[in-house]
């Protein structure tokens, strides 16, 4: 009679080892190429400054903190034990660990005060390497980054808050801003009746004798309500106006920003998003009365860039998880990565991710070179184009990457459900697809030089496929005859312009296998609309090898 063996005592075979111990910067060939393309001779310096970011991001410790921060969601406390109104949110220690690392790595507002080379490209690359560890905590850092240029509408306010917003110190807690070593900013714009149509806001701002304002109203979505200052919009006597609301007043008392509830969201669960009521809240005007949208639009532009970078980061991690799994999991007589069908899927995912990474860093270079009129024009048209396309592609991308793990990818322990829940977010935040597509039309109408710089950027690759694509776009623009027909083609224009930009960047800066695969599948349209349909002749094996993480 055979000896009984406890099935739970045996070590199972064919199991994928944990993806931990790799460097998400120095071990990512696509990201390194994108950094080199946008920083030139400063590339080695920029990469060296990000080595620690990549090492921590790829560690088992970071992975565990990311999972814990999502598992233990923030908790709202309206009052303290004595019944005093406090309106505070408590976070799990893993949230604070992630925030501390992110701020210390300079991934929030530091780039605006960084005197090193290519500070915005550096931050963009670091964000791509880091934020998918746990995407929710990137939101406070993104808003902090975006607040700095918006505050320049008032020199005194910029001088007061910029040093704290650009600090590398994470100083959590509700105290007067003057007492803190580091500050975080938020934005509070949308309301129940308007959403993206902020001009329909009903929050009222009443002027006070001392030059401040008292704000009364309800804000439908305010992320990270424990941040130190908030940029918000309200109706002043002169029209819709931008204001800065400190969470705590200089005398130590709490401003009357009342948290109504925390949102129960699809993703971004580690981050608290709230509804707020302003009950005569103290506000400081930023910019002129009636110029609220014009004042805050710089903040929106910067957060749109971070939507692109956040989506690119989700794609980078999804590719890493999928290729790692396929390189170590066997089925039907061999490794998954060696199966032609799977290799086609993995290569297609890698190509999509690499294109998003290059476009995100190219836009960051435009921020670094903001004094150049051509770069300003490129940023103006490139942001809505990229925001529309990259963020919209991410949900399909992460879903396909999850599927490569099969049932293992569907369980929380894999980390893939966290990425999947997050994947639609950036396509919704800071203007959903239609808002950004229509913004592209606005650029074409008001700043036609944007089309010229877009064409020059695409033509820099000088390939017949891209020249034909540019001609197609320009003919479509020329044939627009009225506002209604323009809106019908807006999404096609945004998508096509984005794909051609990505293709040009890959032709100039990526290996031929990657660029050729993108050209034939995305530009010439020989893909079938789903991942894993790259045509014969594409070197999928080389693309997959390049995208698979390596643990030293």
Nearest partner of 168 among 228, 103, 100, judged by Cα: 103
Q: What secondary structure letter does DSSP report for 134?
A: S
* CA trace torsion 164, 167, 172, 175 (10° rounding): -20
HSE value, Cβ hemisphere, 13 Å, CA-based, for 34: 31
Architecture in CATH for domain 45-289: Beta Barrel (2.40)
C-alpha triplet 102, 260, 229: angle, nearest 5°: 40
3-state secondary structure of 83: coil
Nearest partner of 517 among 398, 343, 335, 327, judged by Cα: 343
Residue 335 CB neighbours (<10 A): 14
- Sign of the dihedral through C-alpha 48, 545, 359, 187: negative
Measured distance CA(519)–CA(500) in Å, rounded? 9
What are the CA-CA distances from residue 168 to residues 124, 133, 438 (Å)? 16, 19, 37
What are the CA-CA distances from residue 404 to residues 267, 513, 540 (Å)? 21, 22, 16
- Give 50-109 pLDDT, tens digit per residue: 999 999 999 999 999 999 999 999 999 999 999 999 999 999 999 999 999 999 999 999
- Give 21-41 pLDDT, tens digit per residue: 999 999 999 999 999 999 999
**Averaged pLDDT for residues 190-206:** 88
Q: Encoding tokens for residue 1?
A: 């009679």
| Summary count for the chain: helices (H), strands (E) | 19, 11
Measured distance CA(193)–CA(196) in Å, rounded? 10
- Give 227-263 pLDDT, tens digit per residue: 999 999 999 999 999 999 999 999 999 999 999 999 9
Measured distance CA(310)–CA(304) in Å, rounded? 10
Measured distance CA(351)–CA(37) in Å, rounded? 17
Measured distance CA(111)–CA(402) in Å, rounded? 33
pTM for this one? 0.96
Q: What is the pLDDT of residue 230?
A: 97
Q: Could you tell me the pLDDT band of residue 6, with boundaries at 50, 70 and 90?
A: low
Q: What is the pLDDT of residue 526?
A: 84
Residue ranges of the domains in the chain?
A: 45-289, 297-547
Nearest partner of 131 among 117, 147, 115, 145, judged by Cα: 145
Measured distance CA(492)–CA(333) in Å, rounded? 43
Instruction: For the chain, give the mean pLDDT.
Output: 95
Measured distance CA(106)–CA(122) in Å, rounded? 9
Q: What share of the chain is helix, strand, coil (3-state, %, to 5)?
A: 55, 15, 30
Nearest partner of 126 among 152, 145, 149, 150, judged by Cα: 145
Nearest partner of 544 among 30, 14, 200, judged by Cα: 30
Q: Are 356 and 390 a contacting pair, CB within 8 Å?
A: yes
Q: Are 263 and 211 a contacting pair, CB within 8 Å?
A: no
Q: Are 409 and 416 a contacting pair, CB within 8 Å?
A: yes
Q: Return the CATH fold of 297-547.
A: Butyryl-CoA Dehydrogenase, subunit A; domain 3 (1.20.140)
Pairing assessment for the beta strands 204-207 and 257-262 based on DSSP bridges: unpaired
Measured distance CA(137)–CA(65) in Å, rounded? 11
Burial-class residue 504 by CB neighbours within 10 Å (0-12, 13-18, 19+).
Answer: buried
Q: Could you tell me the pLDDT band of residue 549, with boundaries at 50, 70 and 90?
A: very high
What are the CA-CA distances from residue 473 to residues 7, 385, 444 (Å)? 62, 13, 12
Q: Could you tell me the pLDDT band of residue 5, with boundaries at 50, 70 and 90?
A: low
HSE value, Cβ hemisphere, 13 Å, CA-based, for 415: 24
**Averaged pLDDT for residues 481-504:** 94
């Amino acid at each position: 009679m055979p000896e009984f063996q406890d099935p739970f005592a045996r070590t199972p075979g064919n199991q994928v080892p944990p993806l931990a111990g790799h460097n998400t910067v120095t071990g990512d060939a696509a990201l390194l190429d994108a950094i080199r393309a946008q920083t030139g001779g400063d590339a080695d310096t920029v990469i060296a400054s990000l080595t620690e970011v990549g090492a921590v991001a790829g560690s088992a410790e970071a992975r565990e903190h990311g999972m814990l921060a999502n598992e233990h969601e923030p908790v709202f406390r309206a009052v303290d034990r004595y019944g005093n109104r406090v309106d505070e949110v408590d976070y799990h220690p893993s949230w604070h660990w992630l925030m501390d690392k992110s701020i210390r790595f300079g991934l929030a507002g530091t780039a605006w005060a960084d005197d090193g080379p290519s500070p915005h490209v550096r931050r963009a690359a670091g964000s791509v390497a880091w934020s998918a560890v746990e995407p929710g905590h990137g939101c406070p850092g993104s808003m902090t980054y975006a607040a700095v240029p918006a505050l320049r509408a008032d020199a005194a306010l910029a001088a007061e808050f910029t040093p704290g917003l650009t600090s590398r110190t994470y100083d959590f807690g509700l105290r007067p801003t003057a007492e803190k070593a580091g500050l975080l900013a938020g934005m509070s714009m949308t309301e129940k009746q308007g959403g993206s149509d902020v001009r329909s806001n009903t929050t009222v701002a009443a002027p006070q004798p001392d030059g401040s304002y008292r704000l009364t109203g309800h804000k439908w979505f305010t992320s990270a309500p424990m941040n130190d200052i908030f940029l918000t919009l309200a109706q002043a006597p002169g029209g819709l106006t931008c204001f800065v609301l400190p969470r705590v007043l200089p005398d130590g008392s709490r401003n009357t920003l009342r948290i109504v509830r925390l949102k129960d969201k699809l993703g971004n669960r580690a981050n608290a998003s709230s509804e707020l009521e302003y009950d005569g809240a103290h506000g400081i005007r930023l910019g002129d009365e009636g110029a609220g949208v014009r004042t805050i639009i710089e903040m929106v532009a910067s957060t749109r860039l971070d939507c692109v970078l956040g989506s690119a980061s989700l794609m980078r991690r999804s590719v890493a998880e999928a290729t790692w799994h396929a390189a170590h999991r066997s089925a039907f007589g061999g490794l998954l990565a060696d199966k032609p069908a799977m290799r086609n899927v993995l290569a297609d995912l890698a190509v999509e991710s690499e294109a998003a990474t290059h476009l995100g860093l190219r836009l960051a270079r435009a921020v670094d070179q903001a004094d150049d009129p051509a770069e300003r024009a490129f940023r103006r048209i490139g942001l809505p184009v990229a925001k529309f396309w990259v963020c919209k592609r991410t949900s399909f991308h992460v879903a396909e990457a999850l599927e490569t793990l099969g049932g293992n990818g569907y369980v929380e322990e894999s980390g893939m459900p966290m990425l999947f829940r997050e994947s639609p977010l950036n396509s919704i935040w800071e203007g959903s697809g239609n808002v950004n597509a229509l913004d592209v039309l606005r650029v074409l109408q008001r700043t036609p030089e944007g089309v010229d710089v877009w064409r020059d950027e695409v033509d820099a690759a000088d390939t017949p496929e891209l020249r034909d694509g540019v001609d197609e776009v320009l003919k479509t623009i020329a044939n627009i005859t009225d506002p209604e027909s323009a809106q019908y083609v807006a999404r096609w224009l945004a998508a096509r312009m984005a794909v051609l930009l990505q293709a040009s960047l890959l032709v100039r800066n990526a290996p031929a296998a990657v660029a050729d695969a993108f050209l034939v599948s995305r530009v010439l349209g020989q893909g079938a609309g789903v991942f894993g349909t790259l045509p014969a002749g594409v070197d999928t094996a080389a693309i997959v090898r390049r995208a698979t993480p390596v643990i030293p």
